[in-house]
Structure formats: C-alpha cells, structure tokens
Amino acid sequence: MLDLQLLRKEIDPVVARLKARGFDFPMNDFQALEAARKSVQTRTEELQATRNSASKRIGQAKAKGENVEAIMAEVAGLGDELKASEVKLAQIQEQMAALLLDVPNTPHESVPPGKSADDNLEVRRWGTPRAFDFAVKDHLDVGAAVAGLDFEAAAKLSGARFAVLRGGVARLHRALAAFMLDTQTQKHGYLEHYTPYLVNAETLQGTGQLPKFKDDLFSVKKGGAGADEAELYLIPTSEVSLTNLVRGDILEAKQLPMRLTAHTPCFRSEAGSYGKDTRGFIRQHQFDKVEMVQIAHPDTSYQALEEMVGHAEAILQALELPYRVLLLCTGDMGFGAAKTYDLEVWLPAQNTYREISSCSNCESFQARRMQTRYRDEKGKPQLVHTLNGSGLAVGRTLVAVLENYQNADASVTIPQALQPYMGGLTRIAAA
RNA sequence: GGAGACAUGGCCGAGUGGUCGAAGGCACUCCCCUGCUAAGGGAGCAUACGCCUUAAAAGCGUAUCGAGGGUUCGAAUCCCUCUGUCUCCGCCA
C-alpha cells in the first residue's frame, strides 16, 4: 500500500512511476473520494466535538446537582445527522482503502523501464553450461528413467499439475531442501522457522496477495463449517507467514535486520497460467520452497537486497548449476516489489535459463499494510522495509539437477554438496 | 466437544455509566541533589488521523482500553456476536 499522505501531496510523480510499471492510477476516483472525505470528515468531527462537550457539561452539572434539561435539549437533534455522517465517512474510508489496496508499489529509480520480460536487464552470468556428448533428455524423461517422477499417479490422486516423487528422486528433493535450509541458517544468519501453512485473510492482505489476487490462492474451510464462516488460505509462499510474523509490531532499531527462513510447501492455483508449462515439474499447484525474509532498516534495505541475491546464488554455486541474474524491468515486477532480481538456472533440455529464485525489496509497501514499525533515534515509530527471496525453489532446483547432472546411461550424478544429505550416495541409478 | 475465568498503554496493574487517554509501579529520557557503577527529588513519556500551516512545530479537534455491533446526551465500565488466552473434563497424533 502506498502512503496516503504522499498521494495527497505529490500525486503526479507517483502516478508517473506507476505508469512506468503499466498501472493506470484511478485519478478521478481518488480525487472524488478525497474531496468527499474532506468535507464529510470535517463535518463528522465537528458534530462529535459538539456532542462530547455537551456530554461533559451534563456530567459536570449532574455532579453539582444542577438541572441538565437545557443542555440535553442542545444535543437532542444531533443524533441522526451524526449517525448518518459517521456512516458516510466510514463508507468513504472503506472505498479509499479498497482503492489503495489495489495499487501496486512504485518501482525504485534504479529499475529499468520496460513492458515485459523481454525488457529485463541481464546483470551477470555464472558457470558454463555443460557440453553433452549424448542426446539430452528433459527432466521428465530423466525422472522416468530412474522411476522417480510420476505424474499419472499424482493425477489419480489430485488432478493435473501435481507430482509424485519416488525413491532417489524423492530423497534428492528432501536433500535439496535440507541443504538449502542449512546453508541459509548456518552461513547466512537466517533464523529457521516452522510456520502454519494455512493462514487467515488479514495475513494475506499484509503481504499483498489479497484482495487483488484471490484467484491465485487455494482456500479451505473446516469440516462442517457454514458458507459464511471465515476461510483459511493455503500459503502461496512462506514469505506470507514469515513476513507477517512482525505484523502490527513496533520493533527496536537494534533488532534490525531480522533474517527469517522456512522450508514449506507452497500452493498456487496459477489461475492465469493455463497452457504454460503444462508438462513437467516446473509449474505445479504444490511445490516446496526455502524462503528468505528480511525485516530491514530503510537505510540499508537495498544493501540487504544485494546480499540476499548473493544468498540465493550461493546455493546454485554450491550445486555448480549455471545461472544468470536478471534485474526485472518496471513492467515485469510483482505487485508489492520496488525492485526485483530474478535468478534463472540453466536447463539444457530447454536450452535456456528458467526462473528459480526471485528476490525483492518491497520497501514499506508491506510494512504499511501490516503496520510493522521500528523506533528511530528519537523514539518515533517508522515503517520498516521488507524483503523476500527464494533460497531456492526446491522443485525447480530438482529439475535443474536432474537435467544438468544426467548421464548417458540414464543415471543421475548427485552433486557433491548434496552427497552428505544422501547418505554418501553419489548417483541415482537407472531403473 | 463440554464447564469456567480472563483480554487495559513498552511491561506490570487500578479502574463497573460522567471533568478517563486512562491511578500507581517498572522501564526509558531530561534536570537537580549526592565525591563516587547505590539512593533521593522534580519533569516528561501511546498511536493514528483531521483542521490550521509554504513546510515543520505549536495549537485546536477526532478516534482508539482484544475485534465488531447495540443501549445512552455520555461506555474501559452495561448488553449481544466473534476472536484469542488460561484452568478442568472429553477426544486425539
């Protein structure tokens, strides 16, 4: 959510920044609501002040045993107008809040302008794609060859976009998650968390998934719950649960930065992505991710973003998977982000790089929704900055390992860094 | 699932219809005193928003005592609903 004060004072530059990311700010609606708000709020508070002072005088008069009928008569007619005015003000404020909740974050000045993924800026590459002297299989075929990836079984259980992992591949998946979590906690100073996978609507509003992206979420109800009962939502990423841990808190400056991590499943209905990546393990309704979240001081949040990208890169480097780093353009960023780097890993079967991590600084966008603040030197509460990044997406890392480490004999070599997590195993044999 | 108790400011805790945004204590900040890492005295110390203002401050006003609704001229205080916490019983991994 953007700063309402800023919109009141300097709306034009803000609107221009939003335009850069392809968002048309509803200027007319905003100004109409602002004008209505101003007059109704002033009138409401005026009426409230009249009532309050009269009530106070009634109290004082009664204490002295004086007759209060004259004062009562003063406020007798007030009730209806006050009530109507309060209701109207509440409506206006609700509409304003709804309008603001649908407005994305403004891009940081260092973000390149652009309309789509084509305009993203490649920042650097790491590693050299391996030269294969045999026909490269994609991860589905590699997975099938070691009897480790079964989409038909998953379809029977749940439908499309689910997978069953088996044997060495299932273990590899677990090893990857454990390796990532250990790296982020032991080398990069993140505090490990285990969090709920089901969260309420306020939580999702805090990080920006609601109200605008309801269709991308899965929701559940308690057995026997009525239609009107509150739903819980399956988290689309543990960014949601980790970031909201500090919702409503006023932190001490010395607590910052907080570095939080968790390994959780993520659930996405991917409502807008039908037809994309329908084959394989790339785009699933359920996938695991190790998430990094930082609650940072505004002065150092961009430095923290660069570090966080490094924390994600460290995983790919340890696994010796070639990748590149992209700086997303204004038009390709997520709703709450002010600046985003994507990491893309090399997938030889697709002969291209595919997204495996996304690291964003949301500045105060989420903090304002969550009312998460810290106390500055003067003791005044100020909004924190929040950052999140994948460190990494476990499922896609599994895909990258299967493809990059496949052998001519249909076995899969286990990256050295993972071997301790696989009981010393060095390869997954063909079935 | 059943029975009961509770929810107040950074923390503890008083407050059952009226000068209550809220006593007192702790913590914190400033000042004074004290020749010493102690004690004492004084003052300050919630958040958000509106109006005013070039801006800030000051000032004035509004809202907030778990959340939402209701009664009333007036609600932390009374009524209803919800959420959460604690204790006991049941069930359960």
Structure confidence at residue A259 as a pLDDT band (50, 70, 90)? very high
Tens digits of residue pLDDT in A103-117: 999 999 999 999 999
> In this structure, what token pair is assigned to residue A64?
């002295």
Of A283, A198, A247, A287, give the one whose Cα is nearest residue A368. A247
Determine whether A427 is an active site residue. Answer: no
pTM: 0.93
Q: Is A125 helix (H, G, I), strand (E, B) or coil?
A: strand
Largest CA distance in chain A: 103
Q: How many Å does it take to go from CA A373 to C1' B49? A: 17
Q: How many Å does it take to go from CA A379 to C1' B55? A: 22
Q: How many Å does it take to go from CA A223 to C1' B91? A: 16
Q: Does at least one atom of strand B sit less than 7 Å from the CB of A67?
A: no
Nucleotide nearest to A60 (CA to C1'): B19
Tens digits of residue pLDDT in A268-312: 998 777 777 888 999 999 999 999 999 999 999 999 999 999 999
Q: Would you call the peptide bond into A236 cis, given omega within 30 degrees of 0 as the criterion?
A: no
Determine whether A130 is an active site residue. Answer: no
Please give the single-letter amino acid code of residue A138.
D
Q: How many Å does it take to go from CA A52 to C1' B17? A: 15
Determine whether A390 is an active site residue. Answer: no
8 A C-beta contact, residue A360 and residue A308: no
Burial of A283 (0-12, 13-18, 19+ CB in 10 A): middle
Q: Per the residue annotation, which of A313, A396, A403, A411 is the catalytic one?
A: A396
Q: Does at least one atom of strand B sit less than 7 Å from the CB of A159?
A: no
Determine whether A268 is an active site residue. Answer: yes
Of A339, A305, A302, give the one whose Cα is nearest residue A106. A339
A window 371-400: Cβ near strand B (< 7 A): 379-381
Read off the pLDDT of each residue in A78-99 and give the average, rounded to a whole number.
Answer: 89
The pairing of strands A191-193 and A258-267 is parallel
